[in-house]
Amino acid sequence: MSYSTEIKNEITTLNNSNKEIISILAGFIRNNGYIKDNDLFLTTENDNIANMLIKSIENIYRIKIAITKIDNLNLFKNKLNLIKISDKVNFILKDIGYFNNDLIYQDIPPGTLTNSDLKIRAYLRGVFLATGSINDPTSSYHLELKINNKNEAVFVQKLLNIFELNAKILNRDKGYMIYIKEAEKICDFLKIVKASKSVLHYENVRIYHEEKNKTNRLNNCEQANVDKIFVTANKQLEYIRLLEENLSEELLDDKLKEAMIYRKKYPEVSLKELSEIISLETGKNITKSGLNHRLRKIKELAEKIKTE
């Protein structure tokens, strides 16, 4: 079962008021339904969604609905539930704002269906059940809604962004795609459509991945520091070798000789660690800055030898 299916199954279990049901039906039918020979048809692979739609429509409009299984054009997917509504079709379509009183199709639903927070959330649930998908957060953060009508797409985007979800629209070959790619915003969407269990799962996975990424970044940073220490120490050892091969020890003061000895003895440690080791083993305090000054002097002498 896909992650999107789990979310949709959870949404179908919610107890909705009649006002919510009408807004849910409006969101679903606008983005899924089609009319043929005065009958209204709805399709869905999801049996739970099909059952919820049938129950809702029959309870609200007091009609009986036929449902059949048909082949899916996508051979790799399940059969489709085809819901056929023959009674009170025009009344239903006017009630959900699909038609106006003159039976003319409306690009966007009337304000009465989305004039409250409760109804907006319900409408978005209907749209998501009809055409939405959310990637499992273990793979990537991505929510999308595929909508055929441009005005409807812009309308749904505006509803989403009432909640500051930063939803964006892409023009596709077949319609429009509204998408959200921010993990926190997708989690907020799940809260909006009342998918409480899915919110907990999403949050847990998101937090786990953020902590894992944080750990990886720290490890990468530590590795980069180790690599930097290794490169710097190797250069210092090369300078020391040049001095040992080309200069008499009498020309080097005790502090430089001490720095050379300890860098050769501990080639893998950082400058700070090396200064602490020298201080501990010799009983003479030397700071990181002081040791750096000595090593810089060694470098200058070595580079002078190179140019001669």
Domain ranges of the chain: 3-194, 211-307
114 and 23 Cβ atoms separated by less than 8 Å: yes
Which two three-digit tokens encode residue 215? 């750990």
Lowest model confidence (mean pLDDT) among 35-49, 118-132, 255-269: 255-269
Domain 3-194 has CATH 3.10.28.10: yes
Closest CA to 155 of 31, 33, 57, 17: 31
Tell me the average pLDDT of the chain: 88
Tell me how far apart the alpha carbons of residues 264 and 43 are, in angstroms, rounded to a whole number: 76
pTM of the shown model = 0.69
HSE (CB half, 13 Å, CA atoms) of 300? Answer: 8
Position 235 scores a pLDDT of 86
Query: Which amino acid does the sequence have at 28?
Result: F
Whether the predicted pLDDT of 60 surpasses 70: yes
Whether the predicted pLDDT of 26 surpasses 60: yes
Whether the predicted pLDDT of 208 surpasses 80: no
At 224-245, the pLDDT tens digits run: 666 677 788 788 888 888 888 8
Position 98 scores a pLDDT of 94
Position 113 scores a pLDDT of 94
Lowest model confidence (mean pLDDT) among 36-50, 61-75, 206-220, 269-283: 206-220
Position 243 scores a pLDDT of 83
Whether the predicted pLDDT of 152 surpasses 90: yes
Which two three-digit tokens encode residue 77? 């997917």
Position 218 scores a pLDDT of 61
DSSP state of 172: E
Strand ranges (E), 86-159: 132-134, 143-147
**Share of residues in the chain with pLDDT > 90 (%):** 53
At 93-146, the pLDDT tens digits run: 999 999 999 999 999 999 999 999 999 999 999 999 999 999 988 778 899 999
